[in-house]
Copies of this chain bind each other. A is one copy, B any other.
């Protein structure tokens, strides 16, 4: 392994100079000729600074962690979300660690060791009771994704999304518009999407026709509809059965395709969730005690 001392010897300078040059510090003047010699030596030797050395010295690991639930259904995420996190981390010159909280391990490795400066959590629902407390105890700044908290959170604006989708249908001339989703439950979007739909319908003086699976059994409400807004693709089947002729619209992380029907999609801002979460976390690393106002990010229509 090549150490900074090897580079120093090769360039005929001290380790301090190597550090100053390689970290591009501008507060200390280094003659251009010396600088070039150091850079050349580093390249020639294939020098890669050991993260741990810097971590020891600086007291910062330079890592941020992305924490998921072991239960996939409580911690849905898409490649786009991870893209946002990776890009955000890279932009701020941090490494991204990923792990899931495994119930078989009492305390996950990431919380057992000091390995990250802060965490981004992705718990759609059923956050373990003591998780927030454990994070606070470990003095780990945290930002929540997909959870509608007042502070330190980034989530899709599901109210706006459903509202916009509904208004889009109204603009297209529909007046009999249905909604199919779940009764308000563990995840805030269950309540917010139907609320957004209702707000749009009410604002335009149109009749509400919402089916909340597990609560409404009124399958008769929908048949007259010419358009139906679906909570997720999961309920498209039900919508199709109840209302075969209607235009179907769904909310989803990626454009929804099917063989012989055109279904328009309102997209969850997954990439932006990731990028914003990192941005907020970086702000928190600066002042861990200051709660940051949550951000609700808009949904937009696919294409």
Contacts and interface: CB of A to CB of B under 8 A. Distances in A.
Interface of A: 1, 46, 48-53, 55-56, 59, 61, 63, 68, 72, 76-79, 82-83, 86-87, 89-90, 93, 95-100, 102, 105, 108-115, 137-138, 236-237, 240, 257-261
A49 B137 contact: no
B99 A96 contact: yes
A51 B61 contact: yes
Contacts of A90: 99-100, 102, 105, 108-109
A248 to B, nearest CB: 8
Copies in the complex: 2
8 contacts: A46-B137, A51-B113, A52-B53, A63-B97, A72-B79, A82-B82, A86-B98, A95-B109
B86 A95 contact: no
A68 B240 CA distance: 38
A133 to B, nearest CB: 11
Contact of A100 (B76, B83, B257): B83
A48 B114 contact: yes
A193 to B, nearest CB: 20
A90 B99 CA distance: 8
